[in-house]
Amino acid sequence: MERYIRTDLAVELQEEISEKSLLQGVEIYTRYSKDKKIKETKIDVVDEQGAKILGKPIGTYITLESGELRGSDEDIHKPLVDMLHKNLKELIKENDKILVVGLGNREVTPDALGPYVVDNLYITRHLLSEGIIVNAREISAISPGVMAQTGIETGTILKALCKETNPDIIIAVDALAAREPTRLNSTIQLCDTGISPGAGVGNNRAVLNEETLGVKVIAVGVPTVISVPAIINQAIDNMLTVFSENGKNLSEGLTEEEKYSIATQLIEPDLAKMFVTPKNIDEAVKRISYTISEAINKFLELY
Amino acid sequence: MERYIRTDLAVELQEEISEKSLLQGVEIYTRYSKDKKIKETKIDVVDEQGAKILGKPIGTYITLESGELRGSDEDIHKPLVDMLHKNLKELIKENDKILVVGLGNREVTPDALGPYVVDNLYITRHLLSEGIIVNAREISAISPGVMAQTGIETGTILKALCKETNPDIIIAVDALAAREPTRLNSTIQLCDTGISPGAGVGNNRAVLNEETLGVKVIAVGVPTVISVPAIINQAIDNMLTVFSENGKNLSEGLTEEEKYSIATQLIEPDLAKMFVTPKNIDEAVKRISYTISEAINKFLELY
Amino acid sequence: MERYIRTDLAVELQEEISEKSLLQGVEIYTRYSKDKKIKETKIDVVDEQGAKILGKPIGTYITLESGELRGSDEDIHKPLVDMLHKNLKELIKENDKILVVGLGNREVTPDALGPYVVDNLYITRHLLSEGIIVNAREISAISPGVMAQTGIETGTILKALCKETNPDIIIAVDALAAREPTRLNSTIQLCDTGISPGAGVGNNRAVLNEETLGVKVIAVGVPTVISVPAIINQAIDNMLTVFSENGKNLSEGLTEEEKYSIATQLIEPDLAKMFVTPKNIDEAVKRISYTISEAINKFLELY
Amino acid sequence: MERYIRTDLAVELQEEISEKSLLQGVEIYTRYSKDKKIKETKIDVVDEQGAKILGKPIGTYITLESGELRGSDEDIHKPLVDMLHKNLKELIKENDKILVVGLGNREVTPDALGPYVVDNLYITRHLLSEGIIVNAREISAISPGVMAQTGIETGTILKALCKETNPDIIIAVDALAAREPTRLNSTIQLCDTGISPGAGVGNNRAVLNEETLGVKVIAVGVPTVISVPAIINQAIDNMLTVFSENGKNLSEGLTEEEKYSIATQLIEPDLAKMFVTPKNIDEAVKRISYTISEAINKFLELY
């Protein structure tokens, strides 16, 4: 099953669990700023039980949602940048030296989010070490490329790089997979538990986290794709619902996991490795990557 | 229904019709060159009845298929270039001035096929008019961009351009949608009946053909995506087959069209407008666009 | 001489004329907004004599200069966008339908300014014609590519397009050549007399203006390169000044034109067709193209 | 002086020394294959004296020159690929695991050579480690980006990477600076003494070689730019020659180094950091990067 992504969004995983009483070890806070049109959801996985239930490691998962993000309403841009920066600041210490990692393949549009973010950052590490600027936050960055391009696990590249450059914290930006089409390109997820590069396009690589890299990893992700099984699952759900109207609901009592395993059996292996993405993905990725870059660039304004 | 692509490939449309005897007005020839590992299928739609049955206008549809195309076997490259050029030559007159049109959006990987082909062409029109070269085939080219980028129908741009530059023939290169995952990036379709730009990613724009542009249009297409309804349809088919084993096949007697309309009803409108594409689409599009460029560039070797 | 650009900037041409009294038929207004750190120069060429003296056709040339532009000071961004928009508004009528043309080659960094500007525009023409939006300014756009890519004169493509789409005004964005290194990527020139595409990289194509296209053309240009003769000329000037100290200044009495013709004789023809550009041209072009896009996008806020 | 590149080509450095008898410690072999239209020059710097005279470390410098390279004559492509591969093979052991490094900034056209080469390589390292293929040469690759993009010295990134992935040899591909315009994009230089990234665009970074990285470095470079001082120097030379005709040659007895130091004093510091490149640099870099990729990909045919 692990090979097939249901969703990378904690907020969607908890939605799958109908009876909220069952969410033991998981604490959920929601805040909706009507004027800012942004919904902020904080999910704390506090213990192993919660981790098991949600299928996500112990840690904090923050989701910023805004339907506006998908349109070209610029009014949403600044408040979202501010809110994203605020949340990053809470996860990063005053003087932490930041290494931003742009995960993904810049040649595949929905997977180019990470590299695009890096393209728009103000990099200071070399300017500080050369004494060209002073008193600024140290920011370095890299877009290592994907394994098909380098032949090297991203984790291996980053582990090596951290040893030599000693950042205090990594901000890893990557494309994710969602279940709900409405969440594509309209949701930003932050978490402090690391990330598996390429999850967005269905490659499960070794996880990048403090354990594997020796440096704490803040993951910033935006769902830009939906996995094929997720879509099949939904269609089947809809169909079974139709049948159930005159008779027993065939899917009754099936867990999401079980439904996914049915879905994946109904499609060719080829398809399970493909992804679904909207036609305007180029504009969407360009716009959101810019929002994330701005939120990170604000770390330079502290001084 | 028109909004949802089943497939742009004539070869898949005729496969949908189980009883070949029903294919009146449609003539099909197949040739398989074992050594060259390329399957060549020629479908002639000879009359209105055939056009109605196949859902494609009267004309010739040639398909070159090669599983190898998907791998990185370079041995297949040259023979495929030669075969594609041979087929183009049969559709283009000795002295025809060629305008190559790269349809699609270069910012969306699976839709970038056309622009990439144009990027690798040898353009001669200006060199001839300036007398820098002589006795060469006149080739001009343009990648007009998609309507979301220009605000202008591609047909409007090309119609205007043809009036001013008077090409004898247009080769329009575009990404297509297929039904079978195995055909993605492994099939090249030629036809002399024109093309609807953006079909590959589900935009049905005004058709580009001799009638609309005043210039004969040869369409060269490669399926780089699958439409979501096509995938849902397949999954449901599989599921109904399972149920049918113990009892009546629920899909029995349904036409492909009917199955598609069921499929489209089972998915959200958002999804119907998305597309499915493989993870390695960047390498695939780069490789195939190069094959097509080479086949067109061979028109310069005639002299 | 025409083959060798001295400068595309009217502001530099008038600087070459030492005795301002000689500038008959040329009116110059300068305004420097200290707080905004932007210098605004308006040069009106009022008659044929002025045109002959300055070597620019009769019309208005507005230059916005800001050293800040070259740095990454974001504070300058918004005021510059506002000032550029204000100037564009004075040249464009309330209801003019705008066609933005991104001149230049997106594959050559210093020449990619125009295409980059188009990439970041909000295009409305198709949304208006499809009734998806109402009461918005009609904006369409195209990046036609350069003649080496299309084999077709840009003027031919635009003339054809204007006939079919009937814009009221064209905003043509292109890279220019300057004489002073300090002006590179720090100056924006507007004029209402049209433009010669590719001037920035030394191709003198047919001028695009109301006469040739049948539509008024506002040119927006940023110098991103210096021509080789301009640099040679400067070095020789410096050297002759050294010699002149002990003896007669060898360049005394030579006009700028004469000095250029000496310079061009001192370099190989190959070199005369090359251009000089700074190493950080990628960041510079990205930043300035964004400023111009924003200034044009503001036309949508009128409603 | 180090800040200003005269040329990165050993072949041009030796040309500067008029009296060949002075080239002690430097051995030069030239071979011209008329049919293949390729000139092959091998320069062996055999001792410290030679290194001092030529200004290049002890080692072998091979230059492949072909005027054809600048045109679009495809006949030259294959023989050049073969000759480049042959030369690489002589420098690399049968079973050496290869790491290809694409130096330079992919966003600045003349500096994008390295990244473009990496884009077209067949990467095998991950396929071998996953057992998907066997008996193939191990090839991995990375385009680390330039310091302005990462804030990290390229040497630091590579040193770290080598420690983790243990390649036997590095092929470092980079853009270079030449003195002669005719050599731009028509010359490929190989050497076994390492490379200073960014030399092509005038950044002198720490040299990458066996000493600094712990892995032998084969440098493959193509001159895509000329430094501004090189061009000024040439123009002044020409001018002084004119003066010398009627009187003493002012430059008589000046060494190349001295002439360069005069040249650099005659231009503004800004300019000294700029570079000169031809207008068709996009086509040139695309074509040559493809030649180099092919020559490296041939290492996979050994099995």
Q: Give the C-alpha separation, C162 to B161, whole Å.
A: 10
Closest Cα in chain B, distance from residue A235 (Å): 5
From first to last of its 303 residues, chain A has per-residue pLDDT tens of 334 567 889 888 888 776 777 788 999 999 987 676 899 999 999 999 999 888 889 999 999 998 766 655 566 788 899 999 999 999 999 899 999 999 999 999 999 999 999 999 999 999 999 999 988 999 999 999 999 999 999 999 999 999 999 999 999 999 999 988 889 999 999 999 999 776 555 555 688 999 999 999 999 999 999 988 888 888 777 777 766 655 555 556 667 677 777 777 777 777 877 899 999 999 999 999 999 999 999 998 744
Structure confidence by residue, pLDDT tens digits, D276-296: 999 999 999 999 999 999 999
Take residue C152 and report the two structure tokens written for it.
Answer: 């077709």
Mutation target to probe the B interface, by most B beta carbons within 10 A, among A201, A282, A289 is A282
DSSP B230-289: HHHHHHHHHHHHHHHHTS--TTTT--HHHHHHHHHHTS-HHHHT-EEE-TTHHHHHHHHH
Query: Which of A4, A5, A109, A238 would best serve as a mutation to test chain B binding (most B beta carbons within 10 A)?
Result: A109
pLDDT at site D5: 61
Q: Which of C199, C206, C139, C135 is nearest to C167 (CA)?
A: C139
Q: Give the best residue of C122, C164, C212, C293 to mutate against chain B (max B CB count within 10 A).
A: C164
pLDDT of D1 > 50? The answer is: no
Structure tokens at A170: 């990594």
Chain-chain contact of A142 with D140 (C-beta, under 8 angstroms): no
Smallest Cα distance from D177 to chain C, Å: 13
B150 contacts C141? CB cut-off 8 A: yes
Query: What are the chain C neighbours of D234 within 8 Å (beta carbons)?
Result: 267-268
Round to whole Å and give the CA distance between C292 and C136: 19
**Residue written as token pair 């088919």:** B237
Distance from CA of A277 to the nearest CA of B (A): 6
- From A57's Cα to the closest Cα of chain D, the distance in A is 27
**Contact yes or no for B108/A279 (Cβ under 8 A):** yes
- pLDDT above 70 coverage of chain D, percent: 86
Contacts of D111 in chain C (CB under 8 A): 279
Helix (H) or strand (E) run with residue A175 in it: strand A169-178
Mutant choice from B233, B254, B266 vs A, greatest count of A C-beta within 10 A: B266
Residues of A in contact with D132 (CB under 8 A): none
Inter-chain touch B279–A280, beta carbons under 8 Å: no
Please report which confidence band the pLDDT of residue B2 belongs to, taking 50, 70 and 90 as the band edges.
very low
Reported as a single tens digit per residue, the pLDDT across B169-179 is 999 999 999 98
| Contact call for C123 and B156, based on CB within 8 A | no
Partner-chain contact A139 D151, CB within 8 Å = yes
Chain A residues in contact with D214 (beta carbon < 8 A): none
Query: Is A159 in Cβ contact with D142 (below 8 Å)?
Result: no
User: Lowest mean pLDDT: which of A66-75, D28-37, D79-88?
Assistant: A66-75
B128: nearest CA partner in chain C: C151
Q: Could you give the ipTM of this predicted complex?
A: 0.89
Interface test with chain D among A152, A162, A300, by most D beta carbons within 10 Å: A152
How far apart are the CA of D51 and the nearest CA of chain A, in angstroms? 30
C121 and C98 in contact (C-beta within 8 Å)? no
DSSP 3-state assignment of A208?
strand
Judge residue B28's burial from the number of C-beta atoms within 10 Å of its C-beta, 0-12 exposed, 13-18 middle, 19 or more buried.
middle
Q: Which chain A residues are within 8 Å of B182, Cβ to Cβ?
A: 270
User: Which chains have at least 3 CB atom pairs separated by less than 8 Å from chain B?
Assistant: A, C
Give the three-state DSSP class for B113. Answer: helix
Chain-chain contact of D126 with A164 (C-beta, under 8 angstroms): no
Segment D139-163, tens digit of pLDDT: 999 999 999 999 999 999 999 999 9
Chain B contact set for C145 (CB, 8 A): 142-143
- In this prediction, residue D201 has a pLDDT band, given cuts at 50, 70 and 90, of low
Q: Which residues of B touch C163 (CB under 8 A)?
A: 160, 163
CA distance A70 to A63: 16
Please tell me the predicted confidence (pLDDT) of residue A196. 78
Cα dihedral B169/B173/B174/B177 (nearest 10): 90
CA distance A14 to A28: 9
Which residues of C are less than 8 Å from D274 in CB distance? 181, 226, 276-279
C28: enclosing H helix or E strand: strand C26-33
Chains that touch C (3 or more CB pairs under 8 A): B, D
Task: Work out the number of other CB atoms within 10 angstroms of the CB of residue B301.
Answer: 10
* pLDDT greater than 80 at residue B207: yes
Q: Which residues of C touch B152 (CB under 8 A)?
A: 125-126, 140, 142, 161, 165
Distance CA D159, CA A300 (A): 29
Per-residue confidence (pLDDT) for residue B1, from 0 to 100: 30
Neighbours of D255 (CB within 10 A): 10
Query: What's the rounded mean pLDDT across residues D220-248?
Result: 79
Query: 10 Å Cβ neighbour count for C296?
Result: 26
A-chain residue closest to B147, CA distance? A280
Q: What is the pLDDT of residue C109?
A: 96
Cβ pair A226, A274 in contact under 8 A? no
- Which of C107, C144, C151 is the closest to B139 by Cβ? C151
Local confidence pLDDT in tens for the 303 residues of chain C: 334 567 889 888 888 776 777 788 999 999 987 676 899 999 999 999 999 888 889 999 999 998 766 655 566 788 899 999 999 999 999 899 999 999 999 999 999 999 999 999 999 999 999 999 988 999 999 999 999 999 999 999 999 999 999 999 999 999 999 988 889 999 999 999 999 776 555 555 688 999 999 999 999 999 999 988 888 888 877 777 766 655 555 556 667 677 777 777 777 777 877 899 999 999 999 999 999 999 999 998 744
Mean pLDDT (whole number) for B140-162: 96
Over residues D209-227, the mean pLDDT reads 95
CA–CA min distance C3, chain D (Å): 14
CB atoms B124 and C149 under 8 Å:
no
Query: How distant is the Cα of B231 from the closest Cα of chain C, in angstroms?
Result: 30
The residues on A that touch B, with CB distances below 8 Å, are 105, 107-109, 111, 148, 181-182, 201-203, 226, 228, 231-232, 234-236, 238-239, 263, 266-268, 270-271, 273-283, 286
Interface test with A, best of D126, D212, D297 (most A CBs within 10 A): D126
Backbone angles phi, psi at A121, to 5 degrees: -90, 150
Integer Cα distance of A233 and C211 in angstroms: 61
Smallest Cβ–Cβ distance between C276 and the set D107, D274, D280 belongs to D274
User: Cβ A267–B238 below 8 Å, yes or no?
Assistant: yes
Of B237, B281, B283, B285, which to mutate for an interface test with A (greatest number of A Cβ within 10 Å)?
A: B281
Spell out which residues of chain B touch residue C153, defining contact as CB-CB under 8 Å. Answer: 126
Residue A205 DSSP symbol: P
Question: According to the model, what pLDDT value does residue D302 have?
Answer: 47
Q: Are A125 and D159 inside 8 Å of each other by CB?
A: no
Q: What is the pLDDT of residue B244?
A: 64
Give the list of residues 6+ apart from residue B247 with CB closer than 8 angstroms, or none: none
Distance from CA of C179 to the nearest CA of D (A): 11
CB contact under 8 A, C126 and B145: no
Q: How far is B150 from chain C (nearest CA, A)?
A: 5
Min Cα distance A230 → chain D (Å) is 28
Q: How far is C8 from chain B (nearest CA, A)?
A: 25
